[in-house]
A and B are shown apart, each in its own frame.
Chain A
Amino acid sequence: MKIAISTSGTTLDAELDKRFGRAEKFIIYDLDADTFEVIDNAQNLNLSQGAGIQAGKTVANSGAKAVITGHVGPKAYSTLGAVDIDIYFAESGTIQSLVDDFKANKLTKATGPDKDGHW
């Protein structure tokens, strides 16, 4: 199974990017193969609207079935929800530590957006 983590870096030491829609990048981690790829999200940083939707599209197209991030707004939440991608919240951490936390079921699943749009 693949999971997507919003991040500012490109390695397993990279930090969590707490924003989803306007995260700098996503690391898509393959839990079965323990490999990962980096997807750039720069094109969404300057969007006037719909960043959450576009990021959701990016994540859905990557094949990830879950997302780890800091916060999601209402459109990101509904976009990911439409294709049954679960969202897990984390405060901070490196990609490696978040993957470990996910495997150990330590992360809280989101039941709704936790921020208004354009927060």
Chain B
Amino acid sequence: MKITLASGKGGTGKTTIATNLAYLLSKDKEITLLDCDVEEPNAHIFIKPTWTDSYTTYLPIPKVDMDKCIHCGICGDSCQFSAIANIGDKVLTYPELCHGCGLCMMACPTGAITEQNREIGTVELGHSGNIKMAHGKLRIGEAMSPPLINAVKKHASEDGITIIDAPPGTSCPVIATIQESDFIILVTEPTPFGLNDLKLAVGMVREIGVPMAVAINRSDLGDNAVKEYCEEEGITVILEIPNLRKAAQNYSKGHLIVKEMPELEKHFSGIMASIEKELSK
């Protein structure tokens, strides 16, 4: 089962909940944790895995053999991303726009276009206790994260529980992360900004069509509007964590808050049961 932590607003506590939940669940079974925020992975700061493997991932981009090119322009006309264009007697390619779909290579009538690689980033694999971890580190200067996110997602557990920490927001990297999730927990804070972005995230998850619930972090500050919204929309709030300075202090030191403050465990207990209940609806 793949459970993804996502949010609208950034900084609401996705990684906090993902890492602490993974840690608690790992006390009696093997858990896989995937950090799909490949632009700035941070789950490893709390899990502190021993890294065992890493590999580079690439995107196939076009390489044009001008001796074979007949300047028909079909490559550019086919490309959805303007990454290749026949202009005059030149064929221009824009690797940074290329999504690696391979259509230009298929469309070229003379086979003038072959693959070369653009480095996207690195996948790193490790473990800590019962937690198997994978994350991605996007190449500095690379704008396109979904291919690396998809590479990280390949390390999801076949038959066990995988916790996935998504990037913030509702754009392409998040969509790529939440695809094929079995359940999504949207993490928010009870403030106007939190609510605004939660609504966007709910809209996104509904489009993708995955069951969801909400977690309210720092739940005793702010206002009641998030809870009212969830009630109106029929979305279950399955987790609330109070605002605690000591939790923030521990977080800032890279500590798992449930390890340092066992009294917080009770907020997390019953999450899996709640998720099962939601899925049975």
Contact = CB atoms under 8 A, between A and B. Distances in A.
Name the interface size band of chain B: 10 to 19
Contacts of A79: 85, 87, 92
A56 B86 CA distance: 11
Q: Is the interface of A mostly helix, strand, loop or mixed?
A: helix
A57 B76 contact: yes
Nearest to A59: B87
B82 A82 contact: no
B88 A53 contact: no
Contact of B85 (A47, A49, A51, A57): A57
Interface residues of A, number: 14
B82 A50 contact: yes
A79 B85 CA distance: 9
Given A49-B81, A53-B82, A83 B90 contact: yes
B83 interface: yes
Contacts of B90: 82-83
Q: Is the interface of B mostly helix, strand, loop or mixed?
A: mixed
Contacts of B92: 53, 78-79, 82
A49 B87 contact: no
Interface in A31-56: 47, 49-51, 53-54, 56
A60 interface: yes
B107 to A, nearest CB: 16
B51 interface: no
B248 interface: no
B126 to A, nearest CB: 35
B229 interface: no
Contacts of A49: 81-82, 97
B83 A50 contact: yes
Given A75-B94, A78-B92, A83-B90, 13 more contacts: A47-B82, A49-B81, A49-B97, A50-B83, A50-B97, A51-B82, A53-B82, A53-B85, A54-B85, A57-B76, A60-B88, A83-B87, A83-B88
Interface of A: 47, 49-51, 53-54, 56-57, 60, 75, 78-79, 82-83
7 contacts: A47-B82, A51-B82, A53-B92, A54-B85, A60-B87, A60-B88, A82-B92
Considering the complex of A and B, which 7 residue pairs feature the smallest CB-CB distances, nearest first?
A: A50-B82, A83-B88, A53-B82, A60-B87, A82-B90, A83-B87, A57-B85
